[in-house]
Amino acid sequence: MMSHSRLVQKSIIESKESMFVYSAVATLRNTEAVASAKIRRAMLRLQGKSKY
């Protein structure tokens, strides 16, 4: 009985960790997307200015 509850605790801890990792990765990807969009916009602006 003791080992069963320990297993349950372990799985709960692991699922919490995986959720944290998942949210961290999602945040990173979102930040990356925003940054690349800003860079793309800046590059387009620079290219537009260099034409004139």
Tokens standing for residue 8: 């349950």
Q: What is the average pLDDT across 36-47?
A: 93
Q: What is the average pLDDT across 33-44?
A: 94
pLDDT for 10 beyond 80:
yes
Q: Report the candidate in 12, 30, 33 with the shortest Cα–Cα distance to residue 22.
A: 30
Question: What pLDDT was estimated at residue 42?
Answer: 94
Statement: the pTM of the whole predicted model exceeds 0.85: no
Q: Which long-range contacts (CB under 8 A, 24 or more apart) does 30-34 make?
A: none
Rounded-to-integer distance, Cα 51 and Cα 35, Å: 25
pLDDT for 5 beyond 80:
yes
Confidence of residue 3 (pLDDT cuts 50, 70, 90): confident
Rounded-to-integer distance, Cα 21 and Cα 24, Å: 5
